[in-house]
Every structure is written in structure tokens, then in C-alpha cells.
A = this chain, B = another copy of it.
Amino acid sequence: MSFFDYFRNKKGPNTASIAKERLQIIVAHERNTRGQPDYLPQLQQELLDVIRKYVAIQDDQVQVQLDKNDSCSVLELNVTLPDKV
């Protein structure tokens, strides 16, 4: 048992269930000309696939927001991970 585990075990059950790990991914794409293809929507799934190599993410833990105007697109992924007990 590591030093770290020692303190973790000292925590009560409520702490474990409330504490969260968060991951936020923001991709902003500024295009200088209009009408260029916007690949951010396709990127979304691929980025999640990369992250999943490191942490287990369920689809219902991910909030996705995509904003765009003429020249700029912003993709925002917010992931809330349950604390590992």
C-alpha cells in the first residue's frame, strides 16, 4: 500500500463519491477565408478516442459544445470522471 493509498483510505465514503476529476478539451479553429471545410465536428470523436487510451470515459460523462461563426469555430468537450475509489 502506497503512502497515497493510506490517505485515500482515511477518507469517508462521501468524499470519494463527491470528488470528481475533470477534463476539458477546447479546440478553436480560426479560418481566414469563409467556406473552408470545418473539420471540428469530425475531430470530436477522434479526440475522445485518444483520451480513452488514458482514461475510461463513458459517453454520458461528456458534454459537447460547438460554436461557430463565419471565420471561427470552437469545439468544447467537458468530461467529468468519477473518482476512482
Interface residues of A (CB under 8 A from B): 3-4, 6-8, 19-36, 39, 42-43, 46-47, 50-51, 53-55, 67, 69, 72, 74, 83-84
Q: How far is the CB of A61 from chain B (nearest CB, A)?
A: 14
Number of copies: 2
Contact B3 A26 (CB under 8 A): yes
Overall SS of chain A's interface:
mixed
A43 CA / B54 CA spacing, docked (Å)? 9
Contact B4 A72 (CB under 8 A): yes
A6 CA / B28 CA spacing, docked (Å)? 10
Known: A23-B27, A27-B23. Is A4-B39 also a contact (CB below 8 A)?
no
